[in-house]
Amino acid sequence: MSEMSDVVDRLVRYCSVASQSDPLSADKVPSTACQFDMANVIADDLRKLGAENVSVTESAYVTAHWPASAGCEALPTLGFCCHIDTAWQSYGDPVHPQVLRYEGGRLVIGSGRDGKEVALDPKTNPCLDRMVGWDLVTSDGTSLLGGDDKAGDAMVVSLLSRLKADPSLPHPRLAVSFVPDEEIGHGAALLDLDEFGAAFGYTIDGGPLGEFCYETFNAAEAKVRAKGLSVHTGTAKGIMINASEAIMRFHALVPPQERPEYTEGHDGFYYLERVEGNCEEALADYIIRDHDQDKVEARKELMRQAVAFVNQAFGQEVLTIEIRDQYHNLADVVALPEHRHLIDNARAAYAKIGQEMTCIPMRGGTDGSQLSFRGFACANLSACYYNAHGVREFVPVPELEAMVDMLQELVALYAVPQPAVG
């Protein structure tokens, strides 16, 4: 391939820094010390570019500001938010990113940790058919790449590099943030919005170029715990209470057709994330997702009733359940008339680079799902990663570079006062 562009170089460099989050240590922020390594790399890049107010907090939040171009100083600050952690569901340390030319057919990217060949295949990724002749950033097959969300990180920093190189490019004051633990549901929860100083903006944590999201799931988590009674199996009759058996009875009452593998679009689901146990103690962790909050509440109630049914069958309280809301559908904020510019300007910026915008109902959440309800309204833009959370993750170079062009066009659209809401 030819010499790497600024954003490709940053992506490769950022992906080389291991920064997985860990749900089993989610009681601290960040959940893993390695996220500080990623935070410091980005902070150093921001300082070298001359960003203002660069900060790394004790929780590994990176924030900075970029001054407005001449004549735009009085306009509202526009914010961008990305995350620095990578997914915990696959191998993520060490990461060996590489740039490969795709010439069609199967592309072998390397061997997995089991020694078996790892390849990208148009049979499972039909999008590859339009990428013949493109350079792709991949791992070597032994880990995920981490393009989710280091592609977003690289795009934002490369945008600032452009603005430094050409001060004539119009833009308002920018606030940028890079947050930890998004992959385990924490994300931007501790972002100081007063110090951040932006009332609206965008997260950059979506899929293919042109993808845009202002609608997400509502989300809750449910923790089901079982307490049993262990006795010798030879004398167990009428005495033993098997905690693992109680969890299995509960799970059988959760509608099987409403699991992620059987749903799509606006369908909601129940997902069993983790289960473990023995006779005396067992646990099952679930997540609940739906675009309609009323349906989320109905799902919660079904799980409570399932717990009650199992307890009644045992004749005592064997199961307990704790349910906690995680985030809400950001459409409830972004679709309001006063924030419609977030959608309209994104569509216009995509059009300026020759890309049609495609709005999707995200079957997940973003940092914007919580930020929007905290007063920072933000929709979600493409980060151009594919096959996230697995060893076949990749980022097409032309899409990565095009998104920096899109961001340049987007900030220019905010270099003028936004239309008043009528």
- The residues spanned by each domain of the chain are 6-216+330-414, 218-326
Q: What is the pLDDT of residue 293?
A: 95
Place 42 in a pLDDT band, splitting at 50, 70 and 90: very high
Active-site option among 45, 85, 135, 367? 85
Hey, what's the torsion of the CAs at 144, 30, 197, 342, to 10 degrees? 30
Collapse the DSSP code of 48 into the 3-class scheme (helix H, G, I; strand E, B; otherwise coil) and give the result: helix
Place 83 in a pLDDT band, splitting at 50, 70 and 90: very high
Task: For residue 85, indicate whether it is catalytic.
Answer: yes
Q: In this model, does residue 420 exceed pLDDT 80?
A: no
Give the pair of three-digit tokens for residue 223. 């923790």
Q: What is the pLDDT of residue 232?
A: 95
Place 123 in a pLDDT band, splitting at 50, 70 and 90: very high
**Mean pLDDT score, 372-376:** 91
Active-site option among 148, 149, 153, 182? 182
CA-closest candidate to residue 202, choices 75, 395, 366: 366
- Measure the CA–CA gap between 348 and 203, rounded to whole angstroms: 17
Asked whether this chain's domains 6-216+330-414 and 218-326 adopt the same fold, the reply is no
218-326 to CATH, choices 3.40.50.300, 2.30.42.10, 3.30.70.360, 2.40.50.140: 3.30.70.360
What does the mean pLDDT of the chain come to? 95
**Mean pLDDT score, 109-124:** 96
Hey, what's the torsion of the CAs at 186, 192, 196, 198, to 10 degrees? 80
55 beta partners = 63
Q: What is the pLDDT of residue 320?
A: 98
* Lowest pLDDT segment from 281-285, 313-317, 329-333: 329-333
Q: What is the pLDDT of residue 2?
A: 55
Q: What is the pLDDT of residue 366?
A: 80
Q: In this model, does residue 66 exceed pLDDT 50?
A: yes
Q: What's the CATH superfamily of 6-216+330-414?
A: Zn peptidases (3.40.630.10)
**Mean pLDDT score, 59-79:** 97
**Mean pLDDT score, 338-343:** 94
Q: What is the pLDDT of residue 250?
A: 98
Percentage of residues of the chain with pLDDT beyond 90: 90
* Lowest pLDDT segment from 26-30, 257-261, 331-335, 405-409: 331-335
- Measure the CA–CA gap between 30 and 15, rounded to whole angstroms: 18
H-state helical runs in 174-292: 193-196, 243-252
- Measure the CA–CA gap between 150 and 148, rounded to whole angstroms: 6
- Measure the CA–CA gap between 181 and 342, rounded to whole angstroms: 25
CA-closest candidate to residue 150, choices 181, 118, 178, 184: 178
Task: For residue 149, indicate whether it is catalytic.
Answer: no
- Measure the CA–CA gap between 132 and 121, rounded to whole angstroms: 12
Q: Which amino acid is at 24?
A: L
Q: In this model, does residue 369 exceed pLDDT 90?
A: no
Percentage of residues of the chain with pLDDT beyond 70: 99
* Lowest pLDDT segment from 48-57, 160-169, 179-188: 179-188
Instruction: Provide the sign of the torsion angle of the four alpha carbons 394, 372, 159, 342, taken in this order.
Output: positive
Q: What is the pLDDT of residue 422?
A: 54
Give the pairing type, strands 358-361 and 211-215. Answer: parallel
pTM for the model? 0.87
**Mean pLDDT score, 282-303:** 97
Q: What is the pLDDT of residue 1?
A: 47
Q: What is the pLDDT of residue 185?
A: 81
